[in-house]
Amino acid sequence: ETGVTQTPRHLVMGMTNKKSLKCEQHLGHNAMYWYKQSAKKPLELMFVYNFKEQTENNSVPSRFSPECPNSSHLFLHLHTLQPEDSALYLCASRAGTPNTGELFFGEGSRLTVL
Amino acid sequence: SQQGEEDPQALSIQEGENATMNCSYKTSINNLQWYRQNSGRGLVHLILIRSNEREKHSGRLRVTLDTSKKSSSLLITASRAADTASYFCATEDNFNKFYFGSGTKLNVKP
């Protein structure tokens, strides 16, 4: 138990669906992250939020839309996805100041796009 | 790319043996971290080494860092079947961003 909770753990959706992934942390962290993990590829940094402000969008397609309403919650809204978007989506958090420690990861949301 | 790259991609050893994994990276760093991931689960932090440190220990883990070669190694001593997992190195830049490699998949046979 890392203190970072992701829901749902598994999601199957069609290419025309709209769904959302949710991440929640009560560790008092101010930085939150979305990573994509595909088989045999490095973890891809997607988005970074620091004190609710987006500080990184790593050229992510617009069919992925993040939302950070407060420092404890992070969402990833999904719409008109492609089969190649099937992956494990990992949320992480840490204290907001650089070089202050490690990332705390959730268990991930396994997404399958049909 | 700033991503770390782990080597080897896969490693299979017997219980009780030592496991060594290596990581190379491309740019200057503030710190380097190692994480572990059990199949289909999230990553768990193992150890952090700062750029001004050369070696660090935590239990059965020993990490070295050579900033001149832009490389790090993770040694797990007296491995156990429960150490079976994927291991990743991650580098942090000055902007709260962490970059990971593809990982080393370790299999420890009982």
How sure is the predictor about A96, in pLDDT bands with cuts at 50, 70 and 90?
low
Query: HEC string of chain B?
Result: CCCCEEECCEEEEECCCCEEEEEECCCCCCEEEEEEECCCCCEEEEEEEECCCCEEEECCEEEEEECCCCEEEEEECCCCHHHCEEEEEEEECCCCCEEECCCEEEEEEC
3-class secondary-structure state, position A76: strand
B70: left (phi over 0), alpha (psi -120 to 50) or beta: left
Nearest CA in chain B to A111: B40
pLDDT of residue A59: 87
Residue A19 has pLDDT above 60, yes or no: yes
pLDDT of residue A93: 95
Check whether A34 has a pLDDT greater than 60.
yes
List of chain B residues whose C-beta atoms are within 8 Å of the C-beta of residue A40: 102
| Ordered per-residue pLDDT tens for chain B, 110 residues | 556 788 899 999 999 999 999 999 988 888 899 999 999 899 999 999 999 999 999 999 999 999 999 999 999 999 999 999 999 999 988 778 898 988 999 999 99
CA atoms within 13 A on the CB side of B61: 18
- What does the alpha-carbon distance between residue B29 and residue B51 come to, in Å, rounded to a whole number? 7
Measure B75 CA to nearest chain A CA, in Å: 19
Out of B40, B42, B88, the one facing A106 most closely (by C-beta) is B42
Give first-to-last CA distance, chain A, whole Å.
31
pLDDT at A87 over 60: yes
3-class DSSP assignment, residue A84: helix
Is B95 close to A98, i.e. CB distance below 8 A? yes
Q: In A8-102, which ranges are E strands? A: 10-13, 18-25, 31-37, 44-50, 53-57, 64-70, 73-79, 87-94
What three-state secondary structure class fits A60? Answer: coil
